Structure 1
C-alpha cells in the first residue's frame, strides 16, 4: 500500500474501531469496481482503502503499526543486529500477502458488496479476480404476428450496444430470451447475460384470451340468411370460412389452431359474427323488410 492507512481512510490516529469501520464501509460502497466499471483510478483507490482497513481493522496489527513494528504493508520492521545482517519481511494479508483477514472478520462482505453483484467477497485475501458480470435486463415489444411466426429484432441498450434478438416461433407474452455473455463485463471472469423479456403489443383486430384470439367478424345479411364462404383475417393471413345458413349476430365460429401461443401450445381463433346492413340505404331491401314485417312479424330472442 505504501501510504498512511489513517489518511487512506480519512480518520484520525486516535479513531475508534467503530469509526474506522464506518469510514471503510462508506468508501468501499463509493469505490467498489462493480459500481465504477472500467474506472482504474477508483479500482486502485478501492484496493488501497481495503488494505488500509485490513491493517487498522485488526487491533493487533494496528497496535504494531502504531508502535512502528510493521509498516503500512504489514511488513515487520527489524533493526539490523550488531555486526550487520538484514531484516526479514513478513507478508500482508490484504492483497496477495500471507497475513490473516484481520478486521474483515466482523464485516459482512456479502452485505457490503452484494448489491454490486459478481464477486462481492473478492475484496478480502484473494484480490480482484473471477467475478462474473451482472446480468442486464431489457423489455422488447413485438407484434402478435412476430410472436407467432418468429423473426429477428434489433435492440439497443443504454450503453449504445445493439444486439440482434432471435424471436422463436410461438413466443409467449412474458417469455425471457437469454443472450449468453451479453451482459455486464466481469472482473477477471465471464460476462453476465442479457435477459430480454418479450411483450406482445395490442393488435387492432385480435384480442387475446389466454392462448385464444377473439375478433368481431362482420357478415352481410344475405350470407347470414343463406350461408356462404367469406374471407376471415388471421395473424398469418386471410383464410376462407363457411358461415352456416341462418346465422345470427353473436354466433361464434372457431378456427382451430389459429390463435396465439402460451407455454408452447397454440390456441384457436374465435370469430364472433356481427350481421351488418349495407352502408348505403337499399330501396329493395327496405321494401322487402317492410313487407316482411307486415306479413311475418317476429320477436327476436323469444
Structure 2
C-alpha cells in the first residue's frame, strides 16, 4: 500500500477529525455497494480503509510516524529508535519521534468512521452494511377513461409480488404514484426504498384532453347541419342527447358544462367541448347532386370572400 497519508490526501499533521472527514469523503465515493462489480474501485476502497485503520488508531499512528510500522501496519524489521526510519517520519535522529498527540491533536481512540457513513458499523468480522434500499420506478399504461374517472390497477413488482394501486380521477401522463417501502430491500435493518409508478395515459379514439376539459370532434350530416336536430354524443360519463342548432357549420362549437375531467385540487370538473364537422355521404348520391344544382342556381354565395383578391 502507498503512504496512508497520501492515500487519504491529508498532511502528516492532520487531526483525527480531518482524517475521519477525508476517509468519509473517499468512502462515499468508493464503497463497493455503490460501485458493484468495479474491481478497480473496490481495490481503492480497501486501500483507503486500510489507511484509515492505520491512522485512526492513535497507537498505530504513533508507531507508523516513528517508523516502527510500515504502510501496511506491519512491524519493520531491524527498526531502531533514532535510526533512519525515525528521522524520515519526523523524529530527530537519536531522539523521540513526534506523534499526533505531541502536536496537540485531539485523538478519540474509540472513534468509528463507519457510524457516520451510511450507518455502517464495524463489528468483529468487519463492516456491517446498513443502507436504505434503493427506489425503483415502474411505468403503468392507463386507458384515457380510466385516468379521467379513476380506477384500480395491478402492478407487478421486481420481487414477483403484485400490488393493487388506486389511480385517482384526473390523473395525467407523467403523474407519479409513490408506494412507500415497496422498493429494494434495505440492508442491515435499514428501511426499504420506495416504488414510484409513472403513469402514461393512452390516447383515446375520439376524446382529447385540454387541461381538465375534454374535446370531441363530432361529425354531423348535411340535413342535421341545415335543418338542425337532436343527436346522441359520447361523454366520459356515457352518452347524452345534444341539440344541433339550425344552420350549424363545420367548426361550430358547443359547451357541455361540467362534463369534463375532475380537478383533484379544486374538486371541480372541466367542460366538454363539441366541435361539429359537416360530413357528406361516403358515396356520391345523384338525388343530392340534382337537388344542390337546382338550389345553387338561385342561391349563389361567396364563402371565400374574406380572402380578398390577390
Shorter chain as denominator, the TM-score bin is 0.5 to 0.7
User: 2:235 maps to what in 1?
Assistant: 234
Distance change >3 Å, CA 98–CA 151, structure 1 → 2: farther
Structure 1: stretches of 5+ with no match in the other structure: 1-10, 37-44, 73-96, 110-118
Measured after TM superposition, the shift of residue 26 of structure 1 is: 7.4
Tell me how far apart the structure 1 counterparts of residues 118 and 236 of structure 2 sit (CA, whole Å).
51
2:13 aligns with none
| Equivalence for 2:111 | 100
> Structure 2: how far apart are the matches of 1:193 and 1:46?
31
User: Number of residues paired by the alignment?
Assistant: 243
Give CA-to-partner distance per residue, 1:234-284, whole Å, 9 cap, x none.
233322211111111110111222323454443222111011111122222
| Cα distance in 2, alignment partners of residues 195 and 57 from structure 1 | 43
Aligned pairs for 1:163-202 (under 5 A) are: 163-187=163-187, 188-202=189-203
What is the correspondence of 1:114-129 to structure 2 with a 5 Å cutoff? 120-123=117-120, 128=128
Q: Could you tell me whether the CA contact under 8 Å between 1:137 and 1:197 is conserved in 2? A: yes
CA distance in 2, matches of 1:263, 1:46: 52
Q: What's 1:77 paired with?
A: none
Query: How far apart, CA to CA, are the structure 1 residues paired with 2:230 and 2:50?
Result: 84
Partner residue in 1 for 2:217: 216
Taking structure 2 as the reference length, the TM-score comes to 0.64
**Residues 184-234 of structure 1, C-alpha deviation per residue, up to 9 Å, x if partnerless?**
212212212111122212222122222222222100111111111112122
CA distance in 2, matches of 1:165, 1:200: 15
Q: Which residue of 2 aligns with 1:290?
A: 293
Taking structure 1 as reference, are residues 169 and 209 closer, same or farther at Cα in structure 2, changes over 3 Å only? closer
| Corresponding residue for residue 260 of structure 1 | 261
- Matched ranges for 1:20-169 at <5 A: 31-33=31-33, 52-58=50-56, 60=58, 61-64=60-63, 67=68, 99-101=110-112, 120-123=117-120, 128=128, 131-158=131-158, 160-169=160-169
Checking the alignment, whether the CA contact within 8 Å between 1:21 and 1:53 is kept in structure 2 is no
TM-score, normalising length: structure 1: 0.65
**3-state SS of the aligned residue for 1:121?**
coil
Structure 1 residue 63 displacement after superposition: 3.6
Q: 1:28 to 1:297 in 2, by over 3 A?
A: closer
Q: Would the aligned equivalents of 2:181 and 2:195 in 1 still touch at CA under 8 Å?
A: yes
Q: Distance in 2 between matches of 1:46 and 1:161?
A: 38
Counterpart for residue 204 of structure 2: 203
Q: Does the 8 Å contact 2:149/2:261 carry over to 1?
A: no
Superposed CA RMSD in Å reads 3.9
Structure 1 Cα separation of the partners of residues 139 and 55 of structure 2:
44
The answer to whether the 8 A contact 1:21-1:57 is kept is no
The structure with more radius of gyration = 2
Residue 19 of structure 1: aligned partner: 7
